[in-house]
Structures are given as structure tokens and as C-alpha cells.
């Protein structure tokens, strides 16, 4: 029987901890690393991050947009980075934020979650603006292969509250309803909840949140600190994958390994 994605996450984090390293090759970051802003630079940065992360954490999250801006050459570099990460035993979350309906959204799932696909990852991020049910085909594919889908619930950008705190039938906020839907997928879906989000203002029930994997970007450059997480997530803390990117990538090629180790040690000190 195929293990669920939630079970796979639990297994990896029990051994390597929950810290997730973002692979975000901004043009300015490439320059700081002394790398060109082209496919070769993307490949070099990505592979160096994978090498530094492999013995220190269990999860990486390439931000696809920074590869996609270089077209087919960028995607070729991305394929190499993903393959290297998975070969090193890292769980790879493809941060693609795809969403649509029918055969279109199913094709996104096919691209990112099918074993043997050139872009095969262990999970992808998705948007359910068309309704959580629009992801049924993607979730079915994910479940069949032990993959995961992180659905956006409450994001860190301030303007998100205009939509994500609207109420649906029954009185729950949209953010809370996304969490509820994810909790009903038997370990296939998780949610994205920004590390700067006020969960009380978004009316997200931490006990329900504790039933799903939680990808939490926003630590570091966006303002949240790893020390904030225990108070912010409460009973859901044990399911949180805190994502750090610029705050460790900014240490450069010589310092990134130590920066990852320091962040991982801080997360290891969280109460469990």
C-alpha cells in the first residue's frame, strides 16, 4: 500500500527535521553568488543549495517562477535540480501555484506529480479559487503515488485578507474552509499558511490545522522569525514545514551550509 504524503513527510521530518529550504534564484541573489542570470547560473545555484541541504534538512522548495523566466533553458536547469534533490533523498515541493478546471488542471498534476515525468516532484502548490473540488483529479493522482498538494489557505501578502477572510456558507472564512477540505483528504493535501498570518484574524482553527501538513513561507526576508512559530501555530506546530530562502541563501556559496545548519538547529529547539 502506498504511503500517504503526510506519512512520508512525517518520516522525513522525524529524521531530518521539518525545515524546508527555498530555492529562489532571484537575479540579485545570482549576482551576489557571482553567477550569471541565465540557465547555467540557475543550475549552479540550485545544485549547490541541494548539496548543502541534503545532509542537513529533509525538504526543499524550488520556486518555479525564477526558472520559468528563462524559458525552456530554465526548465532544463530545473529538471536537473529537482532530479538531484530527489536522488539525495530530499522531498521536493514544486512551488508552482497552479489551478484551473477539468483537463487543464489535471494536466498540471500530470506534469508535476506523475512518476517518471521530467518535472516529477513529491508535492506541488495549488490554488483552489475555482473551488476545492476543481483539484479532485490532481488529488486523486497525488494519492495514487504518495504525492502531496499544498493548497493556498492564508498567504502572507497583506492584500490577501480581502479574499481569504471572506465567509462562506456556514460562517467559516475561506482560509478555514481550505484547511477543512485539506483535512478531509486522508493525508494527500496540505495547506499553505504564511508565517506572518494572524491565525486568529483569519479564524483558522489550530486544532484542524494540526491534521494536515502546513507549508509556512514568510520566515526571514518577509518578516517572521523562526522564534515566532511556536506562539503563532500553537497545537499545529508539529505539522509545520517552515520555509526559509533568502535568509539562508544570502549567506552565499561559502556560508550557506552553516546558515542551513543554524536554522535547522533553531527549529529543532521548538517545543514538541
Cell numbers for 86: 530527489
How many Cα atoms are found within 13 Å in the side-chain-facing hemisphere of 81? 34
CA distance 46 to 61: 11
Contact criterion met (CB below 8 Å) for 180 and 208:
yes
Alpha-carbon distance of 130 to 100, in angstroms, equals 7
As a whole number of angstroms, the distance between CA 13 and CA 242 comes to 11
CB 97 within 8 A of CB 62: no
Neighbours of 219 (CB within 10 A): 29
Which of the residues are catalytic?
Answer: 97
DSSP SS3 for 216: strand
CA–CA separation, 36 and 77 (whole Å) = 13
Is the Cβ–Cβ distance between 4 and 187 less than 8 Å?
A: yes
Residue in the block written with cell 498540471: 108
Residue 47: name the closest of 57, 66, 58, 60 by CA.
Answer: 60
Amino acid at each position: 500500500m502506498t504511503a500517504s504524503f503526510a506519512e512520508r513527510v512525517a518520516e522525513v521530518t522525524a529524521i531530518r527535521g521539518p525545515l524546508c529550504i527555498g530555492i529562489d534564484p532571484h537575479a540579485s541573489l545570482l549576482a551576489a553568488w557571482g553567477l550569471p542570470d541565465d540557465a547555467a547560473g540557475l543550475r549552479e545555484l540550485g545544485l549547490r543549495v541541494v548539496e548543502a541541504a541534503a545532509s542537513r534538512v529533509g525538504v526543499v522548495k524550488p520556486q518555479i517562477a525564477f526558472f520559468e523566466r528563462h524559458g525552456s533553458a530554465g526548465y532544463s536547469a530545473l529538471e536537473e535540480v529537482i532530479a538531484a534533490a530527489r536522488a539525495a533523498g530530499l522531498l521536493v515541493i514544486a512551488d508552482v501555484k497552479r489551478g484551473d478546471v477539468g483537463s487543464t488542471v489535471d494536466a498540471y498534476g500530470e506534469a508535476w506529480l506523475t512518476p517518471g515525468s521530467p518535472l516529477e516532484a513529491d508535492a506541488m502548490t495549488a490554488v483552489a479559487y475555482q473551488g476545492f473540488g476543481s483539484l479532485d483529479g490532481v488529488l486523486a493522482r497525488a494519492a495514487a503515488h504518495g504525492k502531496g498538494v499544498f493548497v493556498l489557505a492564508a498567504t502572507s501578502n497583506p492584500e490577501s485578507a480581502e479574499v481569504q477572510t471572506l465567509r462562506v456558507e456556514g460562517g467559516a472564512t475561506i482560509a478555514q474552509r481550505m484547511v477543512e477540505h485539506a483535512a478531509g483528504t486522508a493525508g494527500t493535501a496540505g495547506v499553505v499558511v504564511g508565517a506572518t498570518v494572524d491565525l486568529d484574524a483569519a479564524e483558522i482553527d489550530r486544532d484542524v490545522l494540526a491534521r494536515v501538513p502546513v507549508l509556512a513561507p514568510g520566515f526571514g526576508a518577509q518578516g517572521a522569525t523562526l522564534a515566532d512559530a511556536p506562539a503563532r501555530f500553537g497545537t499545529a506546530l508539529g505539522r509545520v514545514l517552515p520555509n526559509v530562502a533568502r535568509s539562508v541563501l544570502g549567506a552565499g556559496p561559502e556560508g550557506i551550509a552553516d546558515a542551513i545548519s543554524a536554522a535547522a538547529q533553531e527549529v529543532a529547539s521548538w517545543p514538541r
